[in-house]
A and B are shown apart, each in its own frame.
Chain A
Amino acid sequence: MNSNKLNGNLPPEVRAVKEKLRELIRHAALSRLKNHADASEIEVREMDSGFTPGKILASNMVFILVSGDALRITFKVHFNTRMAKKLAFRIFGGMSAEDISEKQAIDYFKEYGNLVAGSVITHFGNFGVELGISLPLCTRGFYEVFSDYSETQFPVVTYSDFWELAANDFSLSCSALIEILDVAKLGRLIDYEIDEATADDGEEMDFL
């Protein structure tokens, strides 16, 4: 993506907040998946150079909203059920991927969405920004064509981020539509150190 185009004439601190938010969400997605899939080798990869926002990334997607006064994040994980079954069967106590139903595969990624959102709000809680999370929803990947990825700078700063989480035997696409409603409340984020230990917490989430 063209970062000049994305950032335009934004003040440097807003650019820094945008970059930090991207980093934090990617970090949450990566760390939660390592745990959820029990695969430490997973790494973040950038999308193909030919990627255009709105392109359908898989047959299904789970999305979850993280929302507060300062910020809204729509996090999406794009997956195929065949791959989801491979990852999920251990959690659901099955002998193999064939034992996993479609619903269980979907629930696996709904739970992953929850974990990522939970991790994000934990980080923000650390520097006093309160956020809530929605229920995760699953729908067909096709509906990505109706997503609005228009970038805005004022009054709300809107932008999106897309990345892949790749392991030896699978690859998963994630995306986040980020809307900064009050950049002043996020000022502390710029200097926030994303602590691996903090991200790996075992706190109970306050599901609403």
Chain B
Amino acid sequence: MSRINFDLQASHKMLMLLDEANVNTESIIDRIPGVFLIVNEHHEVLRANVDFMDLVALDAEDVFRMPLSTFFPNESWKIFAHNIKQVLNSENSDALLRFEMSMVVARCDEHAERQFHWTITRRNVKNDGEGRLVTVFGDDISAMRAAERRLAKVFNSIPLGIFTLNKDGTIGDSFSSCLESMLDCGKLAGAAIEEVLFKPALAHMTEESIDGIKAIRACLGKSELDYGKHSMRFPTEIFHNTKPDPDDGLWLRITYQPIVFNQIVEQLLIILEDRTAIVNAEQEMLVAAQDREKAIALEKQSLAVYESAIRDPLTRLYTRLYMKDAVAALLWKHDRNEIPDLSMVMFDIDHFKRVNDTYGHKSGDLILARVGGVIFDHSPDPVIPIRFGGEEFVVFMPADGGAALTFAEAVRKEIEMLQFDLGGGIVIQITTSCGVTAHRKREVLEDFMHRADSLLYMAKAGGRNQSVFEL
């Protein structure tokens, strides 16, 4: 075998290896994720990866020499072509350009534009056959942008003002559509936070809160370890008012979140919550609570007045004022069979005038109080005991005449046993006479009482200290 043949044999082995390497390399290039293209200076596609061909629904031979402009909307393409030119004409052979732009895709399930992040670099070649070349890398960021848009929608839809504060105390990015209306300011980016957020609130801020504004600036650009001590002083609620009407402002709650890079507080994320409606509601509730307390006090007062009007302070029994309404209700119920029986007992202290005249009104009052007490103690609900006037007492009860007589006798006998120590060694006893009767259906109160009074009179006439009844 000649030397040529030995050489060729060696080359042959090398070529086999290169062939295999070439196939693998091409396969790797084909499978570069995202878009990979080699484009000549006439903007023709010379090489494309599989992802690109999938996106545009074409094969390698269709794509070969296709104008790259085919895959871009007109206006976008002008910028893209300009960027290619920039890279090709750059004095730096390693020049690269990065930018975002949408590309027209034409998969079977969609025909739309998708957002890509592009990187263009220059390639050096050995001949002028294709002119100068660029490589184009594209990362599909449409899903990320869509997620950002969804997030922005969420930010915009929530009634919060969200923005970043730069290291120099100016407003950076704003993330909510209601921020401008909240602060009543059209141009926020670059504005000083004191101007747009705190100046319209100074009138309602305490000295401590005003001092806290300085703490906001003080923490920016400083170590995150110091953030805590500053943040304790930050103003957290302000009344922000840019209107002539002093009440026409917003109550804003402010929360702060440090954005830290390399342990330094580079920015603050500030969130404003409009609490005006809540504060107003709280104030209304406070006023309502105060009004309610007043009403309760008034009610208690009225009740006390009413009580004093319907209660005899000496005997604790009801007065005639109460009798009219309360007894009318009892009569009404008895007339309509809501209660089966209704009776009345009329008491009168025997010879009370003589006691008064002999021992004085003070002694008379003592006797009246004790007698009233006995009657009261014998009158559980719904019995209605009334001091009718002077030494006369009337008791209404939803019971028949027999029960009323038993009641009258029990009271009369207890009073008969009482001993009144009037002082000075004087101890007396008294008696009472009683008229007892049952109500007749549709009988008016006057008639009912008149009959009881007649019976009482009969008891007096019969010798006193007795009960006369009509069942």
List the interface of chain A (C-beta within 8 A of B).
52-56, 58-59, 65, 67-69, 80-82, 130-135, 137-142, 144-149, 208
Contacts and interface: CB of A to CB of B under 8 A. Distances in A.
A142 B38 CA distance: 9
A140 B19 contact: no
A9 to B, nearest CB: 24
A140 B126 CA distance: 16
A40 B8 CA distance: 33
B127 interface: yes
Nearest to A58: B64
Contacts of B311: none
B57 to A, nearest CB: 16
A104 to B, nearest CB: 15
A141 to B, nearest CB: 8
B12 A134 contact: yes
A144 B129 contact: yes
B285 interface: no
Given A59-B64, A145-B130, A145-B133, A133 B125 contact: no
Given A133-B8, A134-B12, A140 B26 contact: yes
B17 to A, nearest CB: 10
B93 interface: no
B79 interface: no
Contact of A54 (B2, B9, B127): B127
22 contacts: A53-B127, A54-B125, A55-B130, A56-B64, A56-B129, A56-B130, A59-B64, A65-B11, A67-B8, A130-B4, A132-B7, A134-B15, A137-B22, A138-B22, A142-B47, A144-B129, A145-B125, A145-B133, A146-B127, A147-B127, A149-B127, A208-B9
A132 B12 CA distance: 11
Interface in B1-47: 2, 4-5, 7-9, 11-12, 15-16, 18-19, 22, 26, 38, 46-47
B136 to A, nearest CB: 14
A175 to B, nearest CB: 11
Main SS of the interface on chain A? loop
Contacts of A134: 8, 11-12, 15
Nearest to A106: B23
Contacts of A142: 38, 46-47
B61 A67 contact: no
A125 B26 CA distance: 37
B94 interface: no
A141 B63 CA distance: 13
A146 B38 CA distance: 13
Q: Which of A54, A65, A69 has the most CB of B within 10 A?
A: A54
A18 to B, nearest CB: 20
Contacts of B129: 52-56, 144-145, 147, 149
B126 A146 contact: yes
B30 to A, nearest CB: 10
B61 A140 contact: no
Nearest to A137: B19
A131 B9 CA distance: 13
B60 interface: yes
B402 to A, nearest CB: 120
A81 B16 contact: no
Contacts of B61: 59, 80-82
Given A130-B4, A132-B4, A137 B15 contact: yes
A13 B127 CA distance: 29
A58 B65 CA distance: 9
B133 to A, nearest CB: 6
A131 B11 CA distance: 14
A135 B16 contact: yes
Interface in B50-68: 59-61, 64
A80 B61 CA distance: 7
B128 interface: yes
B22 to A, nearest CB: 5
B205 to A, nearest CB: 69
A186 to B, nearest CB: 15
Nearest to A83: B61
Given A132-B4, A146-B125, 5 more contacts: A58-B64, A59-B60, A68-B4, A135-B16, A208-B5
A82 B129 CA distance: 24
Contact of B127 (A67, A130, A145): A145
Contacts of A149: 127, 129
Nearest to A132: B8
A145 B19 contact: no
Contact of A147 (B46, B47, B126): B126
B146 to A, nearest CB: 34
Contacts of A68: 4
